A and B are shown apart, each in its own frame.
Chain A
Amino acid sequence: QKEVEQNSGPLSVPEGAIASLNCTYSDRGSQSFFWYRQYSGKSPELIMSIYSNGDKEDGRFTAQLNKASQYVSLLIRDSQPSDSATYLCAVRGAGSYQLTFGKGTKLSVIP
């Protein structure tokens, strides 16, 4: 059973701070990793994808991947109240096109 684990939160950070979201996965052969943001009652919206070990930056967002530790993270710099949402980590396993999602981490940015 392929698993993706996230802390459910809520994670509360003050406006302007860095929010750090973490995710671990069980399938060592996984090749593709994604972070989605989901506002309450809405569908998931892609934030970032990462495929290689290391960091990938896009604006205020940085994704970090460590395949040896089976760990992927998302950093949000200069957090804004509009970043308050549930963040879903999704992993594509070896030889498969489906995504396995974690339960998500609820982020609350306090003004």
Chain B
Amino acid sequence: DTGVSQDPRHKITKRGQNVTFRCDPISEHNRLYWYRQTLGQGPEFLTYFQNEAQLEKSRLLSDRFSAERPKGSFSTLEIQRTEQGDSAMYLCASSLAGLGFTDTQYFGPGTRLTVL
């Protein structure tokens, strides 16, 4: 399977704990995105990397959230001191830089986070 992969697929944690998610993009893709989706809503953008550089970051991303893409390949998203409001599906997407803004984002299966 050469699609975007995410790990774990499901995570249940207690409020106040830290969690970390991993995303492996499609192998030749140099752009990587994180989104969050709650029930009944469309995905909301969190952050974007081009290679290892974090170029865009949503105001939704509080100080408790941090993302890295250290070698321009896989990425991690960490949430510190989780809150019940963090419960959501965390989606990773990747794309290959194209002409202008025509690149297409392909999504991974997501990590469903439940904070008790």
Contacts and interface: CB of A to CB of B under 8 A. Distances in A.
Interface residues of A, number: 24
B55 A44 contact: no
Given A42-B109, A44-B107, A97 B41 contact: no
Interface stretch (B14-22, B42-50, B71-79): B42-50
Contacts of A42: 109-110
A103 interface: yes
A102 B42 contact: yes
Nearest to A8: B40
Interface residues on B, range: 20 to 34
Contact of B101 (A92, A102, A103): A92
B84 interface: no
A98 B55 CA distance: 10
A97 B45 CA distance: 10
A72 B58 CA distance: 25
A97 to B, nearest CB: 5
B98 to A, nearest CB: 10
B105 interface: yes
B43 A44 contact: yes
Contacts of B108: 43
27 contacts: A31-B100, A43-B91, A43-B110, A44-B43, A44-B91, A44-B107, A45-B107, A46-B104, A46-B105, A51-B102, A88-B42, A88-B43, A90-B42, A92-B101, A97-B31, A97-B48, A97-B50, A97-B55, A97-B101, A98-B33, A98-B56, A98-B58, A100-B45, A101-B42, A101-B43, A102-B42, A103-B40
Interface of A: 4, 31-32, 34, 36, 42-46, 49, 51, 88, 90, 92, 96-104
